[in-house]
Chains A and B, each alone.
Chain A
Amino acid sequence: AQTVTQSQPEMSVQEAETVTLSCTYDTSESNYYLFWYKQPPSRQMILVIRQEAYKQQNATENRFSVNFQKAAKSFSLKISDSQLGDTAMYFCAWLASPNDMRFGAGTRLTVKP
């Protein structure tokens, strides 16, 4: 089965510090996309960052960056200079075909003042 695993159900970080959320996936596909979505207490699902598997360069969006290790099937999210507004549930997602987006179970991140 092709799955997405987030092994950290909960994490916390002090404001202004850096935190890394882990995600691994299992696939035999060579071309796919990976995403991180954020779900704050409002429950809105917000796209944070995307990575195309054919690109070796890690994606970056302001304070958010990924460490994409294709051979290891790992896709971690690094949040730098954490802010209180980063408190949310974070979902890793993998898209291997146009009809099949798989989500991990999520990591609940709390940023402490």
Chain B
Amino acid sequence: DSGVTQTPKHLITATGQRVTLRCSPRSGDLSVYWYQQSLDQGLQFLIQYYNGEERAKGNILERFSAQQFPDLHSELNLSSLELGDSALYFCASSVEGWDEQFFGPGTRLTVL
């Protein structure tokens, strides 16, 4: 158990819908990262937050957005969902950013 929690574990929805994925980092970690992993693919970095502020952006679509709250939990919002958005979404956290990342169990999103 990495100490990073993600909810829900599974999410099934339809095209055009909007969903929110939630992440709670390890106690003491200030940085939160979001990654997307499609079937049998590598990890695609989406976005990073540090202590409530956006710090880095990767290949995140405009339909996707994220935020980190004062209690340091983070949410990833995915809207106007398409079939291709079906993937495993990971949240990871680290103390700052200059160290290893610890991953949550992931949320499996299925768009039908």
Contact = CB atoms under 8 A, between A and B. Distances in A.
Interface size band for B: 20 to 34
Contact of B55 (A35, A43, A99): A99
B100 A98 contact: no
A105 interface: yes
Contact of B42 (A98, A99, A101, A104): A104
Nearest to A98: B97
Interface string A31-64: 0010101000001111100100000000000000
B100 A43 contact: no
A85 B102 CA distance: 20
Given A35-B100, A43-B106, A45-B103, A91 B48 contact: no
A98 B96 contact: yes
B96 A91 contact: no
B101 A105 contact: no
Interface residues of A, number: 20
Interface of B is mostly: strand
Interface of A is mostly: strand
Contacts of B2: 44, 46
Contacts of A68: none
A95 interface: yes
A98 B94 CA distance: 10
A44 B100 contact: no
A91 B42 contact: yes
A47 B100 contact: yes
B112 interface: no
Interface string B71-112: 000000000000000001010100011111111011010000
Interface of B: 2, 31, 33, 37, 42-43, 45, 48, 55-56, 88, 90, 92, 96-103, 105-106, 108
